[in-house]
Amino acid sequence: MKLKVLGCSGAELPGHNPTSFLIDQRVAIDAGSITSMLNEKSQWKIEQIFITHAHLDHIKGIPFLADNLIMKKPNHKVDVLSIKSVIQAIKENLLNTSLWPDFTVIPHPNNAIIRLAPLKEGIPFVSGQLTFTALKVNHSVPAVGYLIEDTAGRTLFFTGDTGPTDRTWEMLHGRRLNVLIIEVSFPNSMKEMALITGHLTSELMSIELKKISPPPERIYITHPKPQLLPKIKKDLAGLKMKNIWMLKEGQSITI
């Protein structure tokens, strides 16, 4: 399983892209940067997009991908998958003909570019050589993280945006995680803001790690606010953990 980081920032500024990962070239996790970081031919390879939640920085590439496909690849279809409440939010607030054309019925309702598909929390969904399981996390809107496993038994869990949670880690208890991608959006000095908005600081994240059994082999940090990056890096360094790294745009990881 190979993961490419298209975007891993908690805001959009030059050199800092919203959340989006690409797995084995055909599956995207969140869509914040799929059209700004991938050329046309790479966009045409995307078959499915698994969405963690409906905040704009995680879904904004969906309408632009649809628009790009209708120009040159109108017969290529993309499944957008998430829990029912997230799918509804995308349909009602993004692909609603007012904010953007409804590509769930274009060019024809029975042959649309975008196909919205609801997932059930905790129920594995098989996609080729990968299995995705949506697990509820603690955010300011309905949100899930994804447990992803390949046929070789290699596992990745991506939290998406989350604040402190017990239920998520209880659901993962006993599962060996080769890689954990977990968010740290704010420095420790902004703990109150993190909790109010459903995010983590380095300190809060370290508490979450103690809830995970067995502990993850490798830990990658995502979603930092770029304006606060120096403080976040300093806080992470203070943890003195050897198996933790910050993700970088353009980085590739073999799980």
27-29 and 20-23: which strand pairing?
antiparallel
Among 51, 7, 33, CA closest to 224: 7
Domain map (residue ranges) of the chain: 2-254
Cα 246 to chain centroid distance, Å, stands at: 15
Facing residues of 115 across strands?
79
Helix residue ranges, H only, 47-159: 56-59, 61-72, 84-93
Class for the domain spanning 2-254: alpha beta
Question: pTM of this prediction?
Answer: 0.97
Residues 6+ apart with CB under 8 A from 140: 197, 198
What is the pLDDT tens value at each position of the chain, 255 positions in all? Answer: 999 999 999 999 999 999 999 999 999 999 999 999 999 999 999 999 999 999 999 999 999 999 999 999 999 999 999 999 999 999 999 999 999 999 999 999 999 999 999 999 999 999 999 999 999 999 999 999 999 999 999 999 999 999 999 999 999 999 999 999 999 999 999 999 999 999 999 999 999 999 999 999 999 999 999 999 999 999 999 999 999 999 999 999 999
Residue that has been written with the tokens 């046929």 in this structure: 151
